[in-house]
């Protein structure tokens, strides 16, 4: 039994936090830890640093993705810029370091590279002795994830493991587990019952549209293209907490001509696993967590406008494995989906590729291996 587990994330994008929440849930359900604490590391930094770190990222995603892509590539220089970055991070994380030492955990699991880097430094200075595990939350590994003092990396793909080994990480310190997702995604669901619950037609192919990551304009065009699919489909547009987006899409739906494919617009929901359980396709951006959830539910992905950098690399892996198609021009989105749905042999092969990549119990596997680190 582990006394104290410290899960460290950072709210620079939702994926890192969701991965830590999934691990928290898996630790709780496994019953192998007396106390589990999940901390957003940015909450223990000064306001200026926190705003720059979190909000600047979100603003670049929304208004200057090409700048984000340039930064991603410019900083992807393994072992070369770590001292400068560590100096900046140390100057802004005094309260965070104090919290970690005072909590005195038996093991630390990081789902973001900022806390992982600081914990590595504390271990190097012998101010912290507990094992550290690092969970990479994308399918590729960026140089900023690299640390000197840790016990285990958990990654999504065999290729990512090989990449880390080529960068000097010992083979036995990298485990291919998949990205941790909510344990709900490992539970089998009755599609007919869920269709009835959510007012969906079980005879139609459900297409999930993950709309929350898009700005003004593309979402409307994407929806208008989807309703032109000639196959018998039903579209579920998930807007998340963006009420303005929900209102805009509802307005688009109200003006659709009679006989169009039906559309259900959904705002914030805690039942994403259920909507994924009834769907066969998901249209959206390939973020690490959303992609992992989709794979766990057996969904083929239609990638639209991936963010330059990590989402582009996630996209490359999915396309190479045959688990996704990509649409670069929204006017042909319906055409590409019709081609896919009309070729059952191809679609079945893609579903098989999705199944090979899926790790629905990744969170539990990581928890089990982390427990082994403490025993060791």
Give the pLDDT confidence of 231-250 residue by residue, as tens digits. 999 999 998 888 888 898 99
* Domain spans, the chain: 2-181+360-375, 184-357
Dihedral, CA of residue 125, residue 128, residue 132 and residue 137, to nearest 10:
-70
On the question of a common fold for 2-181+360-375 and 184-357, the answer reads yes
pLDDT digit string (tens) for 185-230?
Answer: 999 999 999 999 999 999 999 999 987 655 445 788 888 899 999 9
Higher pLDDT, 91 or 94: 94
pLDDT at 36 > cutoff 50: yes
The whole-model pTM stands at 0.91
Query: What is the predicted pLDDT for the residue at 60?
Result: 75
> Are 19 and 180 a contacting pair, CB within 8 Å?
yes
> Are 219 and 211 a contacting pair, CB within 8 Å?
yes
Query: What is the predicted pLDDT for the residue at 216?
Result: 45
- Of the candidate CATH numbers 1.10.10.10, 3.30.70.3340, 3.40.50.2000, 3.40.190.170, the domain formed by 2-181+360-375 belongs to 3.40.50.2000
Tokens encoding 114: 């900022």
pLDDT category of residue 64 using cuts at 50, 70 and 90: confident
Dihedral, CA of residue 167, residue 9, residue 34 and residue 364, to nearest 10:
-60
Looking at every residue in the chain, the average pLDDT score rounds to 90
pLDDT at 155 > cutoff 80: yes
Q: What is the CATH number of domain 184-357?
A: 3.40.50.2000
SS (H, E, C) the chain: CEEEEEEEECCCCHHHHHHHHHHHHHHHHHCCEEEEEEEEHHHHCCHHHHHHHHHHHHHHHHHCHHHHHHHHHHCCCCCCCHHHHHHHHHHCCHHHHHHHHHHCCCEEEECCHHHHHHHHHHHHCCCCCCCEEEECCCCCCCHHHCCCCCCEEEECCHHHHHHHHHCCCCHHHEEECCCCCCHHHHCCCCHHHHHHHHCCCCCCEEEEEECCCCCCCHHHHHHHHHCCCCCCEEEEEECCCCHHHHHHHHHHHHCCCCCCCCEEEECCCCCHHHHHHHEEEEEECCCHHHHHHHHHCCCEEEEECCCCCHHHHHHHHHHHHCCEEEECCHHHHHHHHHHHHHCHHHHHHHHHHHHHHCCCCHHHHHHHHHHHHHHC
Backbone φ, ψ for residue 250 (5° rounding): -60, -35
pLDDT category of residue 341 using cuts at 50, 70 and 90: very high
Handedness of CA 152, 154, 155, 159 (dihedral sign): positive
Range with the poorest average pLDDT among 9-18, 92-101, 114-123? 92-101
pLDDT at 52 > cutoff 80: no
Q: Which of 9-18, 39-48, 125-134, 159-168 is modeled with the greatest confidence?
A: 159-168
Query: What is the predicted pLDDT for the residue at 210?
Result: 87
pLDDT category of residue 376 using cuts at 50, 70 and 90: low
pLDDT category of residue 77 using cuts at 50, 70 and 90: confident
Query: What is the predicted pLDDT for the residue at 327?
Result: 95
């Amino acid at each position: 039994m582990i006394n104290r587990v410290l899960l460290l994330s950072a709210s620079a994008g939702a994926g890192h936090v969701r991965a830590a929440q999934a691990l928290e849930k898996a630790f709780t359900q496994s019953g192998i830890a007396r106390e589990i604490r999940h901390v957003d590391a940015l909450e223990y930094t000064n306001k200026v640093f926190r705003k720059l770190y979190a909000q600047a990222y979100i603003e670049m995603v929304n208004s200057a993705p090409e700048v984000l892509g340039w930064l991603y590539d410019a900083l992807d220089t393994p072992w070369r810029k770590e001292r400068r970055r560590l100096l900046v991070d140390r100057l802004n994380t005094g309260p965070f370091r104090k919290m970690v030492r005072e909590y005195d955990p038996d093991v630390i699991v990081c789902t973001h590279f900022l806390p992982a880097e600081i914990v590595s430094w504390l271990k190097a200075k012998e101010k912290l002795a507990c094992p550290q595990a690092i969970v990479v939350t994308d399918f590729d590994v960026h140089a900023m994830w690299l640390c000197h003092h840790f016990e285990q990396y958990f990654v999504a793909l065999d290729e990512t493991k090989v990449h880390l080994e080529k960068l000097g990480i010992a083979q036995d310190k990298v485990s291919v587990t998949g990205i941790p997702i909510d344990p709900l995604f490992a539970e089998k669901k009755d599609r007919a019952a869920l269709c009835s619950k959510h007012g969906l037609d079980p005879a139609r192919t459900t297409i999930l549209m993950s709309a929350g990551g898009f700005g003004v304009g593309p979402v409307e065009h994407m929806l208008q293209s989807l309703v032109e699919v000639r196959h018998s489909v039903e579209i579920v547009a998930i807007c998340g907490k963006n009420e303005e987006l929900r209102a805009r899409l509802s307005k688009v739906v109200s003006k659709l001509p009679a006989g169009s494919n039906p559309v259900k617009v959904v705002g914030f929901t805690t039942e994403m696993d259920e909507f994924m359980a009834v769907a066969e396709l998901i249209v959206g951006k390939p973020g690490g967590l959303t992609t992992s959830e989709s794979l766990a539910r057996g969904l083929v992905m239609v990638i639209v406008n991936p963010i330059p950098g990590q989402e582009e690399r996630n996209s490359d892996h999915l396309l190479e494995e045959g688990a996704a198609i990509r649409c670069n021009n929204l006017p042909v989105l319906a055409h590409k989906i019709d081609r896919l749905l009309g070729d059952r042999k191809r679609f079945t092969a893609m579903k098989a590729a999705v199944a090979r990549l899926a790790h629905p119990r990744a969170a539990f596997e990581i928890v089990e291996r982390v427990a082994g680190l403490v025993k060791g």
